[in-house]
Amino acid sequence: MTTKTTSARLAAGPRKGPRRRPSASSATQVGRPGFAWALPAAVFFALFAIVPLIMVAVLSFMSWDGLSSPEFVGTDNWSRLMDDPVMFQSIWLTLLLTVLGVVIQTPLSILLGVWAAGHQRNRAVLSVIYFIPLLLSATAVSVLWRALLDPNFGIPAEATWLFGDGNLFGEQATAIGVLAFVSTWQFTPFHTLIYQGAARAIPHVLYQAAEIDGAGRYRQFFHITLPQLRNAMITSMILMIVGGLTTFETVLILTQGGPGTDTTISAYYMYDKAFKSFDYGTGSAIALALVVAATIISLIVVRVSGYDKMRSTMEGSS
């Protein structure tokens, strides 16, 4: 690990040299805004996002029913969750849906995105249609699919050859299938856009060179397009994972966590505990687990994507 970093640094050495701390000499500071410019937004954000984030940790060690004042109960909520089979099932289901999302949506959106990056006119028109599901709120999408998949009046009632008795919400496997399908329907267009943008930015020279070398369409795709989409792939996958971990409306509206607790994912379980059973302490504990997962992923985003290096987005697009 250490040797790797050092050699990487050595390799990068001649170009930039070791990263220098910004010098405090007046020359570099002239005409530069101070941190005060960022302060109002930071305070506002801290108040409505960071403070609650700290509070959720505190509340997870308290018992609160929403009416009386919160009471400190130590690790009670946590130990109860540890013995709660629904909690473990919810984590498993959350992971399952997240993984299903990534596995289904990634290849689909890469293919569609690369295809849509071409310049023919029909592609532009089709991309506009593909884009529409993105404009619908998760609520609208869920309500729409709940209606379309209604066992009595929906599509399954018409296509019995495909859906059997048609009650897709009555069994765990099909209910999960519906949830995975609906999020694919809604979010594939978004990821397609990401890949479309990235595919457009690939320099044409690479393809021209490959053509001269006699590389066919599929070799070009696997040896040029895919490697060049690496950054987009990382971003898109991370967004899918964060989105998957925090799916909520879809489950609330489509399955209500059911049948039984068969589709009770963590975010829904948190809502159910806190706002339906009025056990806000346990709800907070589940929420905290969600935060930890999301934070780890965001740290990976910042590291891997290089967002934190404040580079120009124009760089490298030549």
Partner 1 sequence: MRRRPHYLAGAGSLLWLFVVGLPLYVLLAATLRTRQDYAENGPVSIPDSFTLDNYTGAFASGFDQYFFNTLVVTACVIGIVLLLVPPLAYAIVRSRGRTTSAIFRLFLLGLAIPAQAVIVPMFYLISEAGLYDNLLGVILPTAAFCLPMSALILSGAMRDISPELYEAMAMDGATPRRMFFQLVLPLSRGGLSTIVVFSALQAWNGFLFPLVLTQSDSSKVVTLGLYNFQTEHGIDIPGLLGAVVLSMVPILLVYLFARRALVQGLMGVGGK
Evaluated on CA atoms 43, 45, 48, 49, the torsion sign reads negative
Residue 272-301 contact track with partner 1, rule CB under 8 A, x = bound: --xx----x--xx--xx-xx--xx-xxx-x
Minimum CB distance to partner 1, residue 76 (Å): 16
- Region near partner 1 per CB under 8 A, out of 3-11, 76-84, 89-97, 230-238: 230-238
**What number of chain residues touch partner 1 (CB under 8 A)?**
121
Whichever of 6 and 125 has its CB closer to partner 1, that residue is 125
Minimum CB distance to partner 1, residue 276 (Å): 11
Minimum CB distance to partner 1, residue 241 (Å): 10
Return the SS3 of 222: helix
Whichever of 176 and 288 has its CB closer to partner 1, that residue is 288
Q: Which residue carries 């809502």 as its tokens? A: 271
Whichever of 14 and 22 has its CB closer to partner 1, that residue is 22
Q: Which of positions 29-48 make contact with partner 1 (CB under 8 A)?
A: 29-42, 44-48
Whichever of 2 and 218 has its CB closer to partner 1, that residue is 218
Question: Residue 218 and residue 240: Cα distance in Å, rounded?
Answer: 27
Minimum CB distance to partner 1, residue 3 (Å): 28
Determine if 28 is a binding residue for partner 1 (CB under 8 A).
Answer: yes
Q: Which of positions 72-101 make contact with partner 1 (CB under 8 A)?
A: none
Minimum CB distance to partner 1, residue 35 (Å): 4
Minimum CB distance to partner 1, residue 16 (Å): 16
Residue 102-141 contact track with partner 1, rule CB under 8 A, x = bound: ------x--xx--xx--x---x--x--xxxxxxxxxxxx-
Q: Which residue carries 């940790």 as its tokens? A: 57
Q: Which of positions 236-255 make contact with partner 1 (CB under 8 A)?
A: 236, 239, 242, 245-246, 248-249, 252-253
Minimum CB distance to partner 1, residue 270 (Å): 6
Whichever of 7 and 278 has its CB closer to partner 1, that residue is 278
